[in-house]
Chains A and B, each alone.
Chain A
Amino acid sequence: MKWFDERYDFSDLRGFAKKKFVPAHKHDIWYYTGGAALFLFKMQFVTGMVLAFYYVPYFEQAHKSIIEIVTKLNMGWFFRSLHHWGAQFAIGILFIHLFGTLLLKSYRKPREMLWFSGFILLGFSIFFGLSGYFLLWDERAFAAVRVATGGLSALPVIGETIKAFLRGGIDVTGETLIRFYAFHVCVLPMAFLGLVVLHLFLVQHHGISVPLSQEGKKLKQVPFFPNVVYKDLMFWLVLLGIVVTFATLLPPEIGIKADPLAPPPENVKPEWYFLFLFQTLKLFPGDLYGLNGEVVAVLLVTAAILFFFLIPFFDRKSQQGLRSPVFTAIGVAYLAYFVIMTLVGYFS
């Protein structure tokens, strides 16, 4: 330790750890969702690295190489399963983190940048998910990517360009697989890491947000180290236990190898975090009072997501530190739509 101390002055860091306090109040459980997501993403990075040693990102071998990972490799089944379940839980916790932030209005001034960076991180995570399960190159993944990229092309002006860029051509082919592999293991992790650093830096800079209802009260300040860190670690350990249990007992299935000329399996469904979009698309008839229902659906979804993204700008009241019941209602409406449509999609 002395050796290091002579080469770098750690007293700053020690001082920082000593001085950092986190307020305690009845909503402080939400503070742990961000850390839990961070933990799961660390796990995704490690399990992903192991899988990347063996996966072959070429359309003729991709499907087979995953079967070999889970059947022939030491612990291969475990890492693949852990990577799968880690992703499910990570995205699940991110949604909880998102809606918690939304309903507690932690996006209000001066934390708008935290909201934006977090929102983009969720977008990245969903793209991580889509590109990840496409790597399986099975029937379901193939249909999902066709729909996801095809749906984007309904956007006016930029739609076709985005579609071609993502697909690497006019169709979903082996080119798309290579592209999605590059996104999944290189582009997204790099961008993600950078944005996480920004997100965490901003949390440090502003300190954690205190909900409006607790503002002005005399709150107990708990030292970040060790109290909060230990609680974080406890939560992470429990989470690890849950994810490993799921990974061991419920290894994810691998569908039939994708065939561009075969129809998708009956009642094909995307991953659960796309179900609310999937249900929405099913709701819109092809002809909507003379308009193209597909375009209307895609535009409405885009507008709803954009509104959600820009909510810190629209919610004037909470910007001024006032209660903002209208935006609580909007938040609850978004949450209800997401939950109900996901359930309808799941059980239909």
Chain B
Amino acid sequence: MKLNYSLVTRRTFLNTLFGGWIASFFLGSLYAVWRGAFPTLGKEPDFVVLPKPADYLDIPTNSTKAFAWGGKLGYIFKRSDNTVVALKGVCSHMECNIVYKPADRKFYCPCHKGWFDEYGKNIEGPPPKPLEFFEYRVEDNKLIVFKKGIKVELPKA
């Protein structure tokens, strides 16, 4: 069958062609810009290795010692019953660094007045979750702090 007229006018054809061209150009550019502007994300470490374990483990009772957990704050903490634990010193609310108050035997977040007890439980204020605890062991005179459930094998020197 032969049509006497085209179903698509020349104007429609050109509008679709150029409209499509412009739309795909902008969408593509936008996507490229977004990909470029979005950062490559690092990752929180699975473990950190600290020299001189005694500096961390032989702290006085009821006190903390800070270490760097990647870019975040970590604490080695000796409770009042002399057990030593490692934890992330970051509030579960809005990620401010927390500080230990020995007199109250609690961790405190100055940003929105959140409190955690010695076991990291959120007991007062806005924090919605307990603190995150790590495990640790001493090997070759190094203190290895690692996430729960992670297997760390240091290369043999």
A residues with a Cβ closer than 8 A to B are 143, 146-147, 150-151, 161, 164-165, 167-171, 173, 175, 260-268, 278, 281-282, 284-287, 292-295, 297
Interface residue? B155 (CB, 8 A): no
State A331–B68 Cα separation when bound (angstroms): 47
Do A169 and B41 touch (CB < 8 A)?
yes
User: Is the pair A267, B42 in contact by a Cβ cutoff of 8 Å?
Assistant: no
A-B contact pairs, 22 of them (CB 8 A): A143-B110, A143-B111, A164-B38, A165-B37, A170-B42, A171-B70, A171-B72, A261-B72, A262-B97, A263-B96, A264-B111, A265-B110, A281-B93, A281-B112, A281-B126, A282-B113, A282-B126, A285-B126, A286-B126, A287-B122, A294-B128, A295-B128
Report Cα–Cα, A282/B124, bound state, in Å. 11
| Contact residues of B between 1 and 52, Cβ < 8 Å to A | 37-39, 41-44
User: In the complex, what residues of A have CB within 8 A of residue B129's CB?
Assistant: 286, 292
Contacts of A143 in B (CB 8 A): 96, 110-111
Distance in Å from the Cβ of A216 to the closest Cβ of chain B? 46
Q: How far is the CB of B46 from chain A (nearest CB, A)?
A: 14
Number of B residues contacting the other chain (C-beta, 8 Å)?
A: 33
Supplied contacts A147-B94, A170-B41, A263-B97, 9 more A-B pairs, CB within 8 Å: A143-B96, A143-B111, A147-B111, A164-B41, A261-B72, A263-B99, A265-B110, A268-B111, A286-B128
List, in ascending order, chain B residues with CB within 8 A of A293's CB: 126, 128
Q: Which residues of B contact A (CB under 8 A)?
A: 37-39, 41-44, 66, 68, 70-73, 89, 92-99, 110-114, 122, 125-129
Write the nearest CB–CB distance from A344 to chain B, whole angstroms.
13
Candidates B68, B73, B99, B112; contact of A282 at CB < 8 Å: B112
B contact face: mostly helix, strand, loop, or mixed: loop
Kindly list chain A residues whose C-beta atoms are within 8 Å of the C-beta of B94.
Answer: 146-147, 150-151, 281, 294
Contact B98 A263 (CB under 8 A): yes
Q: A residues within 8 A CB of B68?
A: 261
Chain A residues closer than 8 Å to B125, beta-carbon distance? 282, 285-286
Alpha-carbon distance A175/B41, docked complex (angstroms):
11
A261 touches B39 (CB 8 A): no
Quick one: closest B residue to A285, CB to CB? B126
B122 to chain A: closest CB distance in Å?
5
Chain B: minimal CB distance from A283 (Å): 8
Residues of chain A lying within 8 A (CB to CB) of residue B99: 263
If A143-B111, A147-B111, A286-B125 touch, whether A264 touches B97 (CB-CB below 8 Å) is yes
Q: Chain A: which residue is nearest B107 at the CB level?
A: A263
Q: How far is the CB of A146 from chain B (nearest CB, A)?
A: 5
- A143–B127 alpha-carbon span in the complex (Å): 16
Nearest-Cβ distance from residue A174 to partner chain B, whole angstroms: 10
Name A262's closest neighbour in chain B (CB-CB). Answer: B97
A261 CA to B48 CA, complexed, in Å: 15
Residues of B within 8 Å of A266, CB to CB, are 110
Pairwise interchain contact B37-A294, C-beta atoms closer than 8 A:
no
The distance from the CB of A290 to the nearest CB of chain B, in whole angstroms, is 11
**A261: B residues at CB distance < 8 A:** 66, 68, 72-73, 97
Q: Is the CB of B95 within 8 A of A146?
A: yes
CB distance from A87 to the nearest CB of B (A): 22
In the complex formed, the residue of A with least CB distance to B67 is A261
Question: What is the CB-to-nearest-CB distance from B51 to chain A, in angstroms, rounded to a whole number?
Answer: 17
Chain B residues with Cβ below 8 Å from A286 are: 92-93, 114, 122, 125-129
| Chain A residue at minimum C-beta to C-beta distance from B39 | A168
State whether B110 touches A264 (Cβ < 8 A).
Answer: yes
Instruction: Please name all residues of chain A whose beta carbon is closer than 8 Å to the beta carbon of B43 when the two chains form the complex.
Output: 170
Q: Which 7 A-B pairs have the closest CB atoms?
A: A150-B95, A263-B99, A286-B128, A171-B71, A147-B94, A263-B97, A168-B39
Q: Which residue in chain B gives the minimum CB-CB distance to A283?
A: B126
Q: Contacting B39 at CB < 8 Å: which of A146, A175, A287, A295?
A: A175
The minimal Cβ–Cβ distance linking A267 to chain B, given in whole angstroms, is 7
Give complex CA distance A265, B96 in Å. Answer: 11
